Structure 1
């Protein structure tokens, strides 16, 4: 085979690889495992191709003594060098892959998260107002968004829902769901972008908004140059970057962006560490790179959940090295994690359990999803899964299923909050579960009623309410009214001496409530809720007490 044909075959192989890079958009940085494999594979293809080309140039002849002679193109020498190079590359690739495992540097695995700051729970986790509790989880956000799409004729056949992402937009906690093309022909018909996105309030199932002011041109389900990964790799400077965690976020003006985490490996091919973000305007495709110290304020997350959870697991797994066969002091994250907001900051929260234990937690960890600053709470209690089972057990007659719980600061104590949903995924009740004692469960059809039930349950079981001391007041009833809430009745009372306070009293606090009238003297023990309403923990109608003392 002549040199010209050899050149053409190598050129064809080059065109194939260039096309593959354009189509697939791989990471070509050899400092990453996937990038190194790509280069080793490509070079292998060139060497093997030229090897077969050389075989094609093999000539067998006989000399004057009828002996066979072999002649081969002089390029065989370059093929030999190619195989030597190939062997070196593959040996190096597998050697680096093996050296990347924890056996050769367990300290790097153990210490990647850093040393968490040991903290008191009620000092770092801020209390939430009851009306700000997130009752909408990811699955429900998707269902509500799907219902909103169904309300718009013609839209449902054009788009599919992307992945809901929880975030704070202008201090409001919401789920944002991008609308993506439902197929090639839908993309071809709407090449300026899909319809927009849906915003679902995290604390109100009725607050669902379809936003069509901004088209979503660049997305994972688009085609050709509108494909998000292809756009970022080819035109956003990402061809030699480690990229992960494609997250859909809004800035404070509602402009949609894709936030992609950039990362580098801290130990050979392993221990990925986030070092910044690529922010892509979902409409225009404009791409900017930021380090962690310089990201815009509206970006909530940089650290991928998978990175953080793996680092927590590594810290517990290698606490005393590789060969800790007795499992001394080993711990692991509990089965599940949740993104919560503490003030304006976004955190990952998960329980920690000892190896071999699934029901009880030995502590909890809170990790900032931008800076990776971590806080450790050394307290025993129930894991999230155990709390779910406890809440479901209290309403087992209904067959409700508990959402994954979030942990909140309630009365200065860590408390799980979750929703209870039916088989259709609709919220039917709410539940509070004590972290310290998961047998203390309060449920109700409203958050207020669940909270009252929880406080009463915790009080009757001998629990001590800390962070807020119960107050007591005596006065004359100015107004009293009853309200049916689920299976119970709540009385609302205003006293002449405290006209600016509204006391809510559950019907089961006292039999005297049903016959209490304006003008009666009463004594109320209460605690002030996050919303300013006074929730009664004790009630006594002094008029009846006085009559009993007088023997009437």
Structure 2
């Protein structure tokens, strides 16, 4: 009886430990995934060993009838139990060995569908200079940290999460969630951390803190407030889950978007098949397929999945035994998330295998549907463009941010910011994709653009925008100042003004255009000349005269 109690108690302890492990580790329990299969194999192996220890009738092997050793495993021969377990381990190893590119190179090559080849200028929208994403992830983190520092009492309670770029109600922003800074802070604020910080991707001065929402569900949190645990136990216990991103719907409500995936070739070739949408406030979770995801969700496809599939397609373009590297290609080092219209894309350069500094084109992959488009453009890789931009300011020691490719007047162009050692943006630069020695640099995006156009005009037969494009047209307008104000951009004063006669048209005038700008006020009569920029709300003033001050003198 005592032995039976000990056995029951031992089993109970094992079950409790197993449940505790499942709760805290939140493993995948689906044996069709490598981690799920490993979980069950280890569990079965431990169970067999444990039961064998408890159930052997004879702890020491006996020789029966002179015919050899015989163990009795609770009425079932031990060799069969060990044999079944060994077979399961063998199947696990065999799946890893068989489902590899040597035997299934076609599956590896074709996981990413054949991209549609398009013209760069016909599909990529021309960028408004006022809407260029000048804030990268690193700078977004810095600006968010500065905003958090404005609230000392809050800064001692929370830390910044990872910034995620997205469009919210048509505006391109970085969103940074706030996380508890430790266990005791979580214990004291179990309703959640106090909100998130929104950083405009196009305006470094547009940073605001949103405290109307609580971020209860967080990565690496405690008990059921942990994001992985919530995703597992509220819909993803038997799913592959990866790539947690913090996104807002168009009303500003915070969610965690967790990608679900399945393996398409044994334990290999993971393929995103939907998302678990976790309410960051309540933990409520809903599951969506790729076709069903709400329109405001920008990203479903993990970046590493896409890059791996592009590389597989290029590696096995002509099969496994392509020793001459014929037509092989690969993604260039690094990638960027960009928005073209309302859609989110991962963009990476495509280079021939063995070529480091030049691209054969760019692959743009929709981050929801995984639809790929290839733009065939010969030119410099992102890293080569960064080196070229840094070379123009090597005396200053500035570092270039990772480039964003964009359409500048019909010409494929890299845009980067140049930062000092304190990681503050000091200059802006445009670099031609087709000729990375064509570089424009300025203290503002407008100045960098003008410099880029001048360099481009001197290095090729046709200017930006086409064969018959004329120099930028200039117009002169006379009127009465209705509003005027100034700001300081990178240490330089820039005035913005509107005229009664031209309504909401805004004019931007750097201080060096005219000394009279500092004394100009509403009601003054002025005459100014500006460069015509079709479709832009703000135009650059190239000359300025205050008629009121002139007549008064």
- The match for 2:525 is none
Separation in structure 2 between the aligned mates of residue 56 and residue 436 of structure 1, nearest angstrom: 79
- 1:393-445 CA-to-partner distances (Å, cap 9, x unmatched) read 11111111110010111111110111011111111000000001010000000
Question: 2:400 matched to 1:402?
Answer: yes
Q: TM-score, normalised by structure 2?
A: 0.85
Select 1:238's aligned residue among 215, 236, 239: 236
The answer for the alignment partner of 1:10 in structure 2 is 11
Q: Which moved more, 1:154-163 or 1:245-254?
A: 154-163
- Counterpart in 1 of 2:310? 312
**What is the CA distance between 1:4 and its match in structure 2?**
5.1
1:159-174 to 2 correspondence within 5 Å? 159-174=158-173
Deviation digits for residues 352-405 of structure 1, max 9, x if unmatched? 111111111011010000001111011100111111111111111111111001
Distance (Å, rounded) in 1 between the aligned partners of 2:17 and 2:534: 67
Question: Matches of residues 368-383 of structure 1 in structure 2 within 5 Å?
Answer: 368-383=366-381
The residue aligned with 2:48 is 47
After superposition, residues 141-220 of structure 1 pair within 5 angstroms as 141-220=140-219
Are the structure 2 counterparts of residues 264 and 476 from structure 1 closer, same or farther at C-alpha, using a change threshold of 3 Å?
closer
Residue-by-residue CA offset, 1:152-210 (whole Å, 9 max, x unaligned): 02211211111110000000000001111111111111111111111111011111111
Does the CA contact (< 8 Å) of 2:275 and 2:290 recur in 1?
A: yes
Question: For 1:412-431, what aligned pairs fall within 5 Å after superposition?
Answer: 412-431=410-429
* Distance change in 2, residues 1:3/1:323 (3 Å): farther
Q: In 2, Cα distance between the equivalents of 1:308 and 1:70? A: 56
Matches of 1:331 and 1:48, distance apart in 2: 50
Q: 2:90 maps to which residue? A: 91
| CA-to-aligned-CA distance 1:40-84 (integer Å, 9 cap, x gap) | 110000011122224574268999xxx9x9996651625433212
Aligned to 1:114: 113
**Partner Cα distance (1:8, 1:487) in 2:** 74
| Distance in 2 of aligned mates of 1:302 and 1:367 | 12
Change (3 A) 1:500 1:62: closer
What do the CA deviations read for 1:8-27 (whole angstroms, capped 9, x no partner)? 43343232212110111010
Instruction: Answer yes or no: is 1:531 the counterpart of 2:536.
Output: yes
Deviations 1:428-470 (A, max 9, x none): 0000000010100000000110000000001011252353511
Distance 2:116 2:43 in 1: 47
* Aligned: 1:300 with 2:294: no
Unaligned residue ranges in structure 2 (runs of 5+): 480-485, 497-501, 512-528, 544-553
**Stretch moving more, 84-93 or 524-533:** 524-533
Q: CA deviation at 1:5?
A: 3.8
Structure 2 counterparts to residues 261-410 of structure 1, below 5 A? 261-410=259-408
Residues 476 and 288 of structure 1: CA distance in aligned 2, closer, same or farther (over 3 Å): closer
Q: Let me know the Cα RMSD of the aligned residues.
A: 3.6
The whole-number CA distance in structure 1 between the counterparts of 2:204 and 2:441 is 19
How far the C-alpha of 1:231 sits from its partner, in A, is: 1.6
Distance 1:156 1:326, change over 3 A: same
Deviation sequence 1:242-281 (CA, Å, 0-9, x none): 1000110001111110000011111111111111111010
Report SS of the residue matched to 2:154: coil
Give the drift of 1:535. 7.4
Per the alignment, residue 223 of structure 2 pairs with 224
The unaligned stretches of length 5 or more in structure 1 are 493-497, 508-523, 540-552
CA distance in 2, matches of 1:461, 1:277: 48
Per the normalisation by structure 1, the TM-score is: 0.85
Residues 195/62 of structure 1: CA separation in 2 closer, same or farther (3 Å cut):
closer
Structure 1 contact 349–366 (Cα < 8 Å) conserved? yes
Between 43-52 and 469-478, the greater mean CA deviation after superposition = 469-478
**Post-superposition offset of 1:148:** 1.1
Task: Name the residue aligned to 2:36.
Answer: 35
**Correspondences of 1:512-551 after superposition (within 5 Å):** 528=533, 531=536
Distance 2:87 2:112 in 1: 34
Q: 1:487 to 1:198 in 2, by over 3 A?
A: closer
Provide the secondary structure at the position in 2 that maps to 1:237: helix
Gap change, CA 1:328 and 1:73, over 3 Å in 2: closer
After superposition, residues 58-97 of structure 1 pair within 5 angstroms as: 58=59, 75=74, 77=76, 79-97=78-96
Return the alpha-carbon distance in structure 2 between the equivalents of residues 478 and 207 of structure 1: 32
Deviation at 1:505, TM superposition (A): 11
Q: Is the 8 A contact 1:256 1:281 kept in 2?
A: yes
- CA deviation after TM superposition for structure 1 residue 100, in Å: 2.0
* 2-structure distance, mates of 1:2, 1:14: 18
The secondary structure found in structure 2 opposite 1:528 is coil
